[in-house]
Structure 1
Amino acid sequence: MATELELKLMVQPEYLKSACACLDAFCEKMNDGGQGSINVRQPTLDLMNGYYDTANGLLMDNGIALRIRAVNQQYIQTVKTRGSSRIGMHERGEWEWRISSDVLDLSLLEEVPLPEALVDMAWSRDLVEVFRTDFKRHVWLIEYEGATIEVVCDQGVVSSSYGQDDISELELELKSGPELALYQFAKHLAAELPVQVSTVSKAQKGTRLKHRRIEFPTKPNPTDSLQAFAEYWYETWLVYWEAMFHLKDEALLQPILSSIVQLQKCTPESVATPLAALEAKFESLFEDDDSSLLSKLAGTTDTGVIMLEVGYWLNKQLDKTQ
């Protein structure tokens, strides 16, 4: 088993070419500067993935994603768990096996510590392919601030009998080194590209096609710490932001503004000040009542930079308490 730590960034399709160019330029600059050849672009992949579950979504309800990936005429069976929260990042267990065909080998799941509701394997008789993700993946291996990071740029679709959704994102996965280097490199990218933090996995996108449900974080108890409320309002902001573009509903900017206002109350001045500036910018755009509001919001770099700065601060506070 491997533990996957990943930071996902939303990027609208019209900016994907710029994202690839930015990563190519970073590798060229670092290598020309004598920083070593680890900063390289790797071969582009066409990935076809089938996700399996019961008709009533028993695996997903228990935090399990089960898929078969076809790549370069080989098949890989993967299990991912929901994992633990890392404030804006995805941290989860991952098991992978090479298999001979596109047929699940459920005997391999003996290695996986399944939740109690799944241990008897009775559900295995009812598995069906519930959705697919098919996308092109551009890959870079990056060395930054003492960390080795795999950066991928994915473009494609997730589809099922209930419809389809676009895949358009960057993923930064930590291979070795300090965890917060993910945020540092993401901030480097966000300074040049209009990207924003996303907490919605491809598996969640597939499940959402059926249930049409947006997943929100659990609100803290009134007696919980300011840190807990800061985490809650930050993740609520991220959820509404992704939902606004998924639903193409600019009215969701209003709860985004409310989340940012609440977040300011839970953070020190050094964090609250840029949040207030972003709030003012959003208020101005919202009051314009412009039909191009979503396009303008998607094209600014301010949002991603501040999202990452707040996420970086929250994770540093988390490290202090562990």
Structure 2
Amino acid sequence: MAQEIELKLAVPDDALAQLAAWLDANGESKGEVTLLNVYLDTPERDLARARAALRLRRKGAQWLQTLKTAGQSQGGLASRHEWETEVDGEAIELQTLPDEARALLAPLADRLAPVFRTDFVRRLWIVQHDGARIEAGLDCGTITAPATQAQERIQELELEWLSGDENRAADVLHGLGARLQAVAPLTPSDLSKAARGYRLAGVDNA
């Protein structure tokens, strides 16, 4: 099980160009990738009530399944548990998950179905800041909830902790965030893509 630590910042339209230019100049560009994602839950929204999110992601020819469990988010900084494994196609494969994740999903497996989608292009950079290695991902796309015919834009920057002194992760991420906020008018966001998707689908307690 990995622990994901990231700072999420909302990006207005007029900030995209200067933000990308700063990252090009101060980070190592890793190109861009199109990510197509479907989130699943039971009709009773058992995962949403447990503050968990289950996702199938297509990344090029590769399919990944990811389970994220309840974490904390404040001032845009989130810390949560995450399990991710490769699968053969657009279907959950419980046997490839570790015991803790499988125990949560097994009782729900026969009732899981798509609830919403998040599809976006991610531009990536690796940034060295204050002794740490951080991945900056600029995401632009849409969240769609077919049941309510609702759609919402994705335009955000995720600063994900990769390596360094983890005890200083929050301070370092906030430090880089403050540096970027001096470059462009970014604002912290505490809502994950999954929480926004559930909200569009009419689930308030995600």
TM superposition score normalised by structure 2: 0.90
Say if 1:151 and 1:171, in contact at 8 Å, map to a contact too: yes
Counterpart of 1:134 (choices 119, 122, 136) is 119
The one-letter code of the counterpart of 1:132 is R
Secondary structure of 2:201's aligned partner = helix
Say if 1:95 and 1:112, in contact at 8 Å, map to a contact too: no
Partner of 2:176: 185
Displacement of 1:14 in angstroms is: 3.4
The CA distance in 1 between the partners of 2:131 and 2:97, in whole Å, is 35
Secondary structure of 1:67's aligned partner = strand
The CA distance in 1 between the partners of 2:137 and 2:92, in whole Å, is 26
The CA distance in 2 between the partners of 1:85 and 1:206, in whole Å, is 17
The CA distance in 1 between the partners of 2:55 and 2:113, in whole Å, is 11
Partner of 1:5: 5
* Structure with the higher strand share, 1 or 2: 2
Partner of 2:24: 24
Q: Using CA pairs below 8 Å that are at least 6 residues apart, which structure has the higher relative contact order?
A: 2
1:189-227: CA deviation from partner (whole Å, max 9, x where unpaired): 001100010000000010000226488xxxxxxxxxxxx
Displacement of 1:88 in angstroms is: 3.8
The CA distance in 2 between the partners of 1:63 and 1:213, in whole Å, is 11
Secondary structure of 1:112's aligned partner = helix
The one-letter code of the counterpart of 1:83 is G
Secondary structure of 1:185's aligned partner = helix
The CA distance in 2 between the partners of 1:110 and 1:185, in whole Å, is 34
The CA distance in 2 between the partners of 1:213 and 1:127, in whole Å, is 19
RMSD value, Cα? 1.9
1:139-161: CA deviation from partner (whole Å, max 9, x where unpaired): 00011101110000000001012
* Structure with the higher helix share, 1 or 2: 1
Displacement of 1:131 in angstroms is: 0.6
The CA distance in 1 between the partners of 2:204 and 2:41, in whole Å, is 18
Say if 1:155 and 1:168, in contact at 8 Å, map to a contact too: yes
The CA distance in 2 between the partners of 1:2 and 1:87, in whole Å, is 22
Displacement of 1:85 in angstroms is: 4.9
The one-letter code of the counterpart of 1:45 is V
Say if 1:77 and 1:99, in contact at 8 Å, map to a contact too: yes
Q: Runs of 5+ in structure 1 lacking a partner? A: 28-39, 216-322
Displacement of 1:9 in angstroms is: 0.2
Counterpart of 1:143 (choices 120, 123, 128) is 128
Displacement of 1:18 in angstroms is: 2.3
The CA distance in 2 between the partners of 1:99 and 1:68, in whole Å, is 9
The one-letter code of the counterpart of 1:19 is L
Partner of 1:229: none
Indicate yes or no: 2:101 matched with 1:101.
no
Displacement of 1:42 in angstroms is: 0.0
Displacement of 1:102 in angstroms is: 1.3
Partner of 2:38: 50
Larger Rg: 1
Partner of 2:156: 169
Indicate yes or no: 2:183 matched with 1:196.
no
Displacement of 1:109 in angstroms is: 3.9
The CA distance in 2 between the partners of 1:79 and 1:19, in whole Å, is 30
The one-letter code of the counterpart of 2:61 is Q
Displacement of 1:64 in angstroms is: 1.3
Identity in percent: 37
Question: Does the C-alpha gap of structure 1 residues 212 and 60 become closer, same or farther in structure 2, counting only changes over 3 Å?
Answer: closer
Partner of 1:210: 201
The one-letter code of the counterpart of 1:8 is K
